[in-house]
Every structure is written in structure tokens, then in C-alpha cells.
């Protein structure tokens, strides 16, 4: 049933995972059946919440009863550091010491105590027993904030889901903000969310949807921004910060390089302007606007984190982008997307990373140029990295199971951390955060030092030791496959946005039906093939053959991975089901390109016999796509997370796929028949 996946997001701890046959080794401490945990008497809400959670974990997952006490005679002791952690004396830094007497946790702060307990949960889950090896483990985080949107539902954060986010190492959530207590979906008590999230060690950022109708030069500009951003932080002073991105906050700029309209409304007398709107260009007066917004916020929240994201003008000339950074205030955070607008070199053509993609690990030249400028200016550097587990490569899957490609990104991010000072990340956008073995992997890779065998431990924990070799081989194939993905707008906004529910239009352009409750509706689905060609890439007619061959290579590798999973026969078949669905998505993407090519041939063919042949090829392709769509139905029925995306809700569930099949049948039975009859005239 639709939305069944939410049940798993409300159950952080898996039940009865303990292996009762496991016997503690000589170098391991095992908790007794009735253990105790000691916390200091002044423990705050974060510590109390985390310890209570750990008690529930021990009972639910390990069949261990635990009680909380306030003395040192406990098997597990929890305390704050007195400055003895050395290099780990930092935000969320902790050390766990284990010996024959028990487990001692010492942390720099209360959030670190929570993360130490979650780390112990992971280690015990890997062992399937309530044991810890003797010795000392020390960790500190590489990035903060780690910001995510809700994958439960747009701006919907139940307590249990907040707990899950905290367990996965994330410390910040984003809320789309149109006004005080107002999101695109309606009313939300921001202060209640802030208080609830704080118990789990999570901060709340406003992702601004607040329209900036006033130029900073207008006489009433100060009053306007005081009544928008100022009022937001006056009413919600515990908001940690705000994220500002061009397309959502663009204002009437005086920059001569931009048009006067908003968000592409730049036509003059119906003729498109050659100039973008201000949200899509590094206007010289953004610093003036930013100072005004900052002033209105900081009078109520002096420490608010003001995140200025350069996503929308990533493709603009480097000198213009760097000039803007050179004039920005230095007490903000600059956020640059990690992998965008990089060229892709095929056999005979050049493509481009249009948007978020895992096909290119990064970083892009755009990111490096802005990171270097931020370093020179001493501006705090963040990045949109998509490391929650998915990108725009697949629009309706919960995560991309390509761990080895993800680890390439993690490695490059750490280089950026060391070289440029990358310290904060945004890990999802409106598609939200869905816990998976990929998010678990990134959690541990974003703590230093890294556990060298963490991926192996995670895969064995998820799929069993006997299946490890085959599962690892499968995800290795998947990790190679994603490098052949085509990250063009035609694909990311087209067939790959919704997969097997994508329509195949001929005479009438129809789009995928969306719920009236969906925030974006079907606005981000392009139902006809987008001819994305400009001076930065080869023309589509030259490029599309290379792209098609690349996707066919991707499909072959994905199918090899699926075969490995079928042979593994693991009890946990979620990954197999996901991979089969992704195969369906890729097949639809291949068919969409072939369909576009056939339409192009049809439109210029002047030979009746050849034209009839093209119609035959078109019908055969559509019949194949119907078969492909039909094969996806049991997959989405088995896993309700497939076909769902928080901003669009369901667009690829059983109903939508069957709708698409009916739509394609219409094209076969009506459109193509009309075309065939026209030849007889």
C-alpha cells in the first residue's frame, strides 16, 4: 500500500537481531542480561533522550534489560570531557574505552554522547550481539551542519523520524519557509519542531521560499525585510539559520546583465530575453541585498547561520562568480554544489552535468573556483553534496546503491575539507532523506578516523555473511554502472524523473498526473524530449547516439548486478527489488531516446515505404515499453517507497504505471493508426 514505507521510518531499532549463539571472545566485553547505564545528574535533554533510546535498543534488538543510574558502578558510564580528549575535543567529538569492567564514554559535548551511543549501537548490530572489543575508539565529525530535507513527507518530521536522522549522524534539518509557521503545504509550528528536534541534537534551518519583491535600494526595503526575515527570526529565535538560493529569493536587481522579470519571466513583447532573471546570475548587488537580510535577522539571532547558495549561476563565467564572492560579507556561509556543470566526454561528443548527479564524483571546476575564492576571503564553505544517498539521476528511488562511487565522492570531499576548509554540507533537496546502507556508510565515512572495513561490516549486517561476496560484487557492478549514466536535463527532467510511468507522446503532449496536494505537481517532469543543446556541449543530434550507447552499457552492468543478487538468495531482498526497478527506469530512459530519434526521422522522411517502416519501429518500441512498465508494477507494489518523491508524492505507483500503459496504448491504437491512414491519401 502507498505510504507503508513510513512505518519503517518510525521504527529506528530492528527487533530481535541478536545472535543468541554468539559467544564473547577474550578481547570483548559483553553486557549482562540486566545491565546499567550511569549518567551525570546534570545531563540535559539530548543525553537523556539518547540514553533512553539506547535502553530501548538493548531491549528491542539485543534482549538486554537496562536501567539508568547516577553513580559510577555501572557497566556503561557516560560523562563530559574535562578537556582531556586532545584532537577529539571538538563538536560531537567522543572517545569510547572498553575493558573487562565495562564501557566508558567521554565526549566533548552532549551531542557527542548521543553519537557515541549510536556508534555503539552500530557496532553491536554488526556483531549481532551486545559486545564491544577492548580498546579505545575516538571519533570527531568532519562536517557540520549536515542538512537534510524530510523523506517522510515534505516538511513532515515525526519524533521517531527525527531520531532516525540523528542515528544516521545528521545534525540539521531544512524546512521550506514561505512565512512564519508557513510552508508550501500549509501551517507548521516552527518552534515546536525546533524544540522537538533539539532533543535529538538536531538544528533547524529555514530554506527560504520568501519572495523578495523589494530591491535593497527601495526606500521601504528595510521595513520590508524586517517584516519578512526579521519577523521570522523574531518569532523563531532558535532557528539555527537560513538557506538562500537564487531561484527562490531573487530580487529586483539593478545589474545590467539581468532582465527585470522574475524566474524566467523575462520576455519582451513575447520575445525571449537573452538575459536571465536575477536568481540565475551573480548580480553585483547581491551583497547589498544580503547585508540587508543579514541585518534584519541578526538583530534577533546574532549567531544565525546565513547560507548563501550559488547553485543557480554555476554555469555563469568564473570571473563574474568570483567577483561576487570577493564582495560578499565574510560572516556568512557560502554553499557551492559539488559536481554540477562539468563536461562529460563521450566517444564523439561532449555532454554536461546539468544538475545533481553521481555519474561524476566531483568536484567540478565550478566548485573548485568558488571554494578557492571562499578560502582566500575566509568565508565559511559549505557544499550541496547529495550524500544523503541520492541525486537527480533517478527521481523516484529512495537511494542509489552505488557505494564505491559514493566513496569516491567522500574522498574528494575530504580533500576539499583539508584544502579549502569545506566544513558543512547539504545532503538532500526536496526529495528528502531516506536511511539506507548508503547513508550508514556516509555517516561513518564523515567521522574521522574512518573504519577501514565499514562497508563490509554494513553489507554483512544488512545481507548476511554468506551473501557478502555476491552482494559486494553486485554493488561493484552498480557503482561502475552509474558512471555511464547521462546527466542531461533531457534525462533528469524526463524519463529518469519518473521511470516507467513516463509517457510517450506523439500528437498530444500529456504529462504524468499528480495529486493536487503535491507541492511541485508535475512541473519538474518534462513529458517530451528536451532538446538541450548550447555552446557548452555538442548538439543533441551529434550527442544522442553516444548517450544511448552509454545508457546501454549502464543497463548491462545493472543487469549483471541484479543477477548477482538473485544468486545471493539473501533474506533481505529490498536491494534486489530496488535494483530491478532501476533497470526498468534505465530501460524507459533508453526507449525515450530511441522514441525521440524515431520522431525526428518520421518528421523528415518523404518516402512512404520508409515512413511505414518507421511507424512499425515506433509501435514495436512502444510494445517493448509497455512490457517494461508491466514488469515494474509488482516491484512498486512490493516496496511503497518506490515511485514516491515528497514534493510530487506518488508519480510511479501501480496506478500511475497503469495510466502510462493506457496512454501508450492510445498512441499505438489512435495516433499511429491515423498516421498510417494518412499515407494512403
Give 215-264 as a 3 state SS string.
CCCCCCHHHHHHHHHHHHHHHCCCCCEEEEEHHHHCCCCCCCCCCCCCCC
Residue 309 counted as domain residue? no
For residue 29, pLDDT beyond 90: yes
94 pLDDT more than 80: yes
* Mean pLDDT confidence for 478-489: 97
Q: What CA dihedral angle connects 141, 147, 152 and 156, to 10 degrees?
A: 130
Domain presence at residue 505: yes
Let me know: does 460 contact 126? Beta carbons within 8 Å: yes
pLDDT in tens, 363-376: 999 999 999 999 99
- Does residue 306 lie in a domain region? no
Last residue of a domain, one of 122, 139, 156: 139
Q: Does residue 392 belong to any structural domain of this protein?
A: no
How far is Cα 665 from Cα 503, in angstroms, rounded to an integer? Answer: 11
Closest C-alpha among 49, 229, 241 to residue 145: 241
How far is the C-alpha of 11 from the C-alpha of 95, rounded, in Å? 28
Cell 536511511 belongs to 435
State yes or no: pLDDT of 269 exceeds 80.
no
pLDDT at 613 over 90: yes
In this predicted structure, which of 301-315, 340-354, 529-543 has the lowest mean pLDDT?
529-543
| Beta-carbon contacts of residue 109 (< 8 Å; ≥ 6 apart) | 80, 91, 92, 93
Selection from 412, 418, 390 nearest residue 492 by Cα: 390
pLDDT of residue 263: 59
With respect to residue 471, please indicate whether it lies within any of the assigned structural domains.
no
User: pLDDT digit string (tens) for 411-468?
Assistant: 999 999 999 999 999 999 999 999 999 999 999 999 999 998 999 999 999 999 999 9
| Mean pLDDT score, 116-141 | 98
Task: Give the chain's mean pLDDT.
Answer: 95
How many other C-beta atoms lie within 10 A of the C-beta of residue 60? Answer: 16
CB 433 within 8 A of CB 165: yes
Domain membership flag for residue 341: no
Where is the domain boundary, 110, 139, 168? 139
For residues 462-489, give the mean pLDDT: 97
Grid cell for residue 367: 566548485
Distances (CA, A) of 308 to 114, 263, 379, 426, 459: 30, 18, 11, 12, 37
> Quick check: 72 pLDDT over 90?
no
Question: Among the three residues 119, 139, 159, which one is the final residue of a domain in this structure?
Answer: 139
Whether residue 498 is contained in a domain is answered as yes
**Could you list the residue range(s) of the whole structural domain that residue 19 is in?**
15-139
The whole-number average pLDDT for the span 53-65 is: 97
Give me the percent of the chain exceeding a pLDDT of 90.
91
Give the closest residue to 188 by CA, choosing from 162, 154, 238, 212: 154
Q: Are 94 and 108 in contact (CB under 8 A)?
A: yes
Q: What local confidence, expressed as pLDDT, does residue 233 receive? A: 98
Q: d(Cα 572, Cα 567) in Å, to the nearest integer?
A: 13
State the Cα–Cα distance between residues 58 and 10, nearest whole angstrom: 17
Letter string b/e over residues 523-538, b meaning 16 or more CB atoms within 10 A of that residue's CB: ebbbbbbbebbeeebb
The confidence band for 265, taking pLDDT boundaries of 50, 70 and 90, is: low
Place of cell 540587508: 292
Report yes or no on 145 lying in a domain.
no
Bridge partners for 67 per DSSP: 36
Is the pLDDT at 655 greater than 80? The verdict is yes
CATH code at position 42: 3.30.379.10
pLDDT in tens, 292-318: 999 999 999 999 999 999 999 999 999
Judge contact between 110 and 46, C-beta under 8 A. Answer: yes
Reported as a single tens digit per residue, the pLDDT across 383-395 is: 999 999 999 999 9
| DSSP for residue 14 | P
Work out the pLDDT band at 262, boundaries 50, 70, 90.
low
Instruction: Give helix then strand counts, H and E, for the chain.
Output: 22, 23
Task: Count how many domains the chain has.
Answer: 2
pTM score, two decimals?
0.96
Amino acid at each position: 500500500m502507498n505510504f507503508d514505507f513510513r512505518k519503517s521510518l518510525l521504527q529506528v531499532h530492528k527487533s530481535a537481531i541478536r545472535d543468541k549463539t554468539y559467544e564473547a571472545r577474550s578481547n570483548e566485553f559483553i553486557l549482562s542480561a540486566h545491565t546499567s547505564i550511569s549518567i551525570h545528574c546534570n545531563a540535559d535533554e539530548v543525553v537523556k533522550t539518547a540514553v533512553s533510546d539506547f535502553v530501548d535498543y538493548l531491549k528491542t534488538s539485543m534482549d538486554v534489560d537496562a536501567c539508568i543510574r547516577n553513580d559510577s558502578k555501572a557497566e556503561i558510564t557516560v560523562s563530559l570531557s574535562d578537556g582531556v580528549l586532545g584532537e577529539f575535543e571538538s563538536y560531537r567529538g567522543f572517545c569510547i574505552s572498553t575493558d573487562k569492567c565495562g564501557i566508558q564514554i567521554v565526549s566533548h559535548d552532549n551531542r557527542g554522547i548521543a553519537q557515541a551511543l549510536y556508534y555503539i549501537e552500530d557496532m553491536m548490530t554488526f556483531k549481532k550481539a551486545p559486545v564491544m572489543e577492548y580498546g579505545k575508539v575516538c571519533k570527531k565529525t568532519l562536517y557540520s551542519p549536515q542538512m537534510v530535507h524530510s523523506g517522510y513527507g515534505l516538511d513532515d518530521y515525526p519524533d521517531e523520524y527525527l531520531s532516525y536522522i540523528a542515528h544516521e549522524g545528521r545534525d540539521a534539518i531544512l524546512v521550506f519557509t514561505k512565512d512564519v509557521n508557513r510552508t508550501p503545504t500549509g501551517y507548521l509550528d516552527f518552534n515546536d519542531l525546533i524544540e522537538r528536534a533539539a532533543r535529538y541534537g538536531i538544528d533547524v534551518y529555514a530554506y527560504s521560499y520568501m519572495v523578495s519583491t523589494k530591491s535593497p535600494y527601495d526606500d521601504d526595503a528595510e521595513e520590508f525585510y524586517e517584516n519578512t526575515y526579521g519577523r521570522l527570526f523574531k518569532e523563531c529565535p532558535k532557528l539555527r539559520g537560513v538557506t538562500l538560493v537564487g531561484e527562490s529569493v531573487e530580487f529586483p536587481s539593478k545589474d545590467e546583465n539581468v532582465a527585470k522579470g522574475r524566474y524566467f519571466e523575462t520576455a519582451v513583447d513575447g520575445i525571449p530575453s537573452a538575459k536571465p532573471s536575477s536568481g540565475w546570475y551573480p548580480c553585483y548587488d547581491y551583497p547589498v541585498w544580503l547585508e540587508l537580510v543579514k541585518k534584519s535577522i541578526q538583530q534577533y539571532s546574532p549567531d544565525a547561520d546565513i547560507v548563501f547558495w550559488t547553485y543557480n549561476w554555476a554555469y555563469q563565467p568564473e570571473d563574474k562568480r568570483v567577483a561576487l564572492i570577493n564582495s560578499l560579507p565574510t560572516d556568512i556561509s557560502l554553499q557551492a554544489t559539488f559536481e554540477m556543470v562539468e563536461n562529460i566526454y563521450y566517444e564523439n561528443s561532449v555532454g554536461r552535468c546539468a544538475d545533481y548527479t553521481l555519474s561524476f564524483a566531483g568536484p567540478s571546476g565550478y566548485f573548485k573556483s568558488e571554494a578557492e575564492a571562499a578560502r582566500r576571503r575566509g568565508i565559511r564553505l559549505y557544499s550541496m553534496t547529495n550524500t544523503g544517498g541520492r541525486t537527480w539521476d533517478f527521481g523516484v528511488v529512495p537511494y542509489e546503491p552505488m557505494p564505491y562511487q559514493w566513496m569516491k565522492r567522500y574522498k574528494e570531499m575530504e580533500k576539499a575539507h583539508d584544502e579549502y576548509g569545506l566544513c558543512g554540507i547539504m545532503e538532500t533537496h526536496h526529495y528528502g532523506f531516506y536511511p539506507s546502507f548508503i547513508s550508514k556508510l556516509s555517516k561513518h565515512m564523515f567521522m574521522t578516523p574512518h573504519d577501514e572495513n565499514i562497508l563490509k561490516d554494513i553489507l554483512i549486517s544488512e545481507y548476511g555473511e554468506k551473501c557478502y561476496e555476491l552482494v559486494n560484487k553486485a554493488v561493484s557492478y552498480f557503482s561502475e554502472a552509474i558512471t555511464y549514466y547521462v546527466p542531461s536535463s533531457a534525462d533528469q527532467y524526463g524519463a529518469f524523473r519518473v521511470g516507467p510511468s513516463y509517457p510517450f507522446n506523439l500528437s498530444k503532449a500529456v504529462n504524468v498526473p499528480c495529486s493536487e496536494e503535491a507541492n511541485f505537481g508535475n512541473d519538474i517532469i518534462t513529458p517530451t524530449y528536451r532538446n538541450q543543446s548550447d555552446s557548452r556541449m555538442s548538439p543533441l543530434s551529434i550527442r544522442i547516439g553516444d548517450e544511448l550507447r552509454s545508457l546501454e552499457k549502464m543497463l548491462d552492468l545493472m543487469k549483471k548486478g541484479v543477477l548477482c543478487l538473485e544468486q545471493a538468495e539473501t533474506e533481505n531482498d529490498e536491494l534486489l527489488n530496488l535494483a530491478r526497478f532501476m533497470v526498468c527506469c534505465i530501460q524507459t530512459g533508453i526507449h525515450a531516446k530511441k522514441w525521440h530519434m524515431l520522431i525526428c526521422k518520421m518528421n523528415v522522411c518523404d518516402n512512404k515505404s520508409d515512413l511505414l517502416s518507421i511507424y512499425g519501429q515506433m509501435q514495436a518500441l512502444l510494445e517493448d515499453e509497455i512490457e517494461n512498465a508491466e514488469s515494474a508494477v509488482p516491484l512498486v507494489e512490493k516496496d511503497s517507497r518506490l515511485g514516491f518523491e515528497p514534493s510530487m508524492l506518488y508519480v510511479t505507483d501501480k496506478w500511475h504505471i497503469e495510466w502510462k500503459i493506457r496512454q501508450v496504448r492510445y498512441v499505438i491504437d489512435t495516433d499511429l493508426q491515423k498516421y498510417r491512414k494518412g499515407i494512403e491519401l
